[in-house]
Structure 1
Amino acid sequence: MSEADAEAAEPTPGKTEVWIEKYRPERLDEIKGHENIVPRLQRYIEQDDLPHLMFAGPAGTGKTTAAQSIAREVYDDDWRENFLELNASDQRGIDVVRDRIKDFARSSFGGYDHRIIFLDEADALTSDAQSALRRTMEQFSNNTRFILSCNYSSQIIDPIQSRCAVFRFTELSEDAIEAQIREIAEIEGITVTDDGIDALVYAADGDMRKAINALQAAAVMGETVDEETVFAITSTARPEEVEAMVDHAIDGDFTAARAALEDLLMERGLAGGDVIDQLHRSAWEFDIPEQATVRLLERLGEVDYRITEGANERLQLEAMLASLALENE
């Protein structure tokens, strides 16, 4: 390969990097949207009194980022040697707790009072593994701190919860996501229109990771990121399109409602679960009577349960629209 070819083969800086990692905050004070959580974590570090922690909340809200930021602030450049990250959804058996965690907890530390073990998706651990983890937390509490991350704290056994300071991460606010998007766009030299920002915030639904991924994907399509590009990239329907489908059903026009659903599922490529999520998110924003909104939510609950149990998505959604239309004939 010639020198010119070698240069051409090299990736362009900034273009091949994954932005969710490139722009992941490294310090607690860089984390956006959790003004009630960050100061409390900083206080633990300042007082050198870090307890076992549990971070509970939806995906993409900063739980892993917070754990890594704590490690960076406690250990500085040595954080990787003193921070063990395990994903319980991949390694959920009791052997992981008995072997990898114990081996790490027993190893030498190099001058620090304790090491940190971060167990991501801890709610995927089996009951036996959680019981073993509880005993391990007791055995090594003098030199090891555990940070557990989960989507549902109710899936964690009470003996573990009682040993942790629990922090509940909520979905990020629209302002926090917008601020991060604008900051990244400015650094990367991307032009994002106001309606493009609104579309990214809507598609993210409180998930910062989803917003940054969508921005990177949309940026590849052209120099300007607008509403049309974002909705196409994220396979998300515009709120007004979903509302129009519901309006047709409530007006008793099942044929038009079914055609709108067909467009979303077949032409736009949305999954049935995506349609349900968008309907649920936007239900109270629709310009429809309150009683109709209540009926819509009732039907959504039934459809979501049936789809979860294995029913046909399209059939269930059409049945929901039909029931709304029949009530308004």
Structure 2
Amino acid sequence: MAKILLNKQNYFHNLKLITKQAGAIEKVAVVLKDNAYGHGILEIASLAKEFGIKNAVVRDLKEAKKVESFFEQILILADTTFHNYSHTFHIAVNSIEQLERVPENTNIHLKIDTGMHRNGISIDSIETAIYGALRKNLNITGIFTHYRAADELSCEFFWQRSNFIQVKKAVLKICEKLFLPIPKFHSANSSALFRFKNFDEDLARVGIACYGYLDTDSCFNNPNLKPVMSLWAKKLSTREIYPKQRIGYGGIYTASEKINSSTYDVGYGDGFFRLNGKKKYLTAKGYEILGRVSMDNCSINSTDEEVCIFDDVRQLAKIHDTITYEITTALKANIPREVI
């Protein structure tokens, strides 16, 4: 059966670089949404706890409950089924309308729209939102935003950062006026964190960098991150292929010489994106995937009992014209994951 191996040494290497950039381990919040970007939410949460991480970010309540015992604070980004929560959970509120649906005494982080225009409370409505939260007896424990272009060489990152600085000033003024405790302020995702020369926020929400990647412009001085995940497949059968014989659906691959070809138990049904045979892809050891990837298997010019399909997804991301996130998050949760 196919399996995913998680390199503990590489994960800890990445966390050390992230912690150094953030300035303190207490400022690092690991993003575990969507099964920890495909790496396995329980496996990665356990490693993060072992490293000493206290904060996490998840997508919904279901994910939060899975890792509740691992962290002191868990930010839930996109839950819509509001009810009473654990004191560990902090709910992201993306609109003033959502305030009415959050139960009393819930910890909340107000999301402010500083320019991405995807969701979040407008800057002009901050005071309205804070008063609305107070009327509902909600605990405002955080104020945050999200950058739309932190990974690109442009002025937009600095524009949004400037907007968030104004947000912070406005919130601090209101908190002083109303004698409210100061919430945590955070805006940085992985790309943004490494664009700060002196990180001065309370939290950094770090996702893809934890797993060894930063999909940013090459001009940035990115850290030497190491991929954590490798995907392995087991051999099902082997056969000799003779010159001019073709392999797989559509016979896209034609052998130019006699080769040994084996079928391995990974396909697009497992979340390994379908290679269509038009672009050459080599595995970590240099074997070639021959022709089209099938739903449950693929053909490779190898006779090894196990083959590492990838230990770095950047080549696959280029072939599929996508980002590393999409390659890793697509892998099905039922593939066994093992920490090495």
Q: Same fold (TM over 0.5)?
A: no
Higher relative contact order (CA 8 A, sep 6+): 2
TM-score, normalization by structure 1 = 0.33
Higher helix proportion: 1
Higher strand proportion: 2
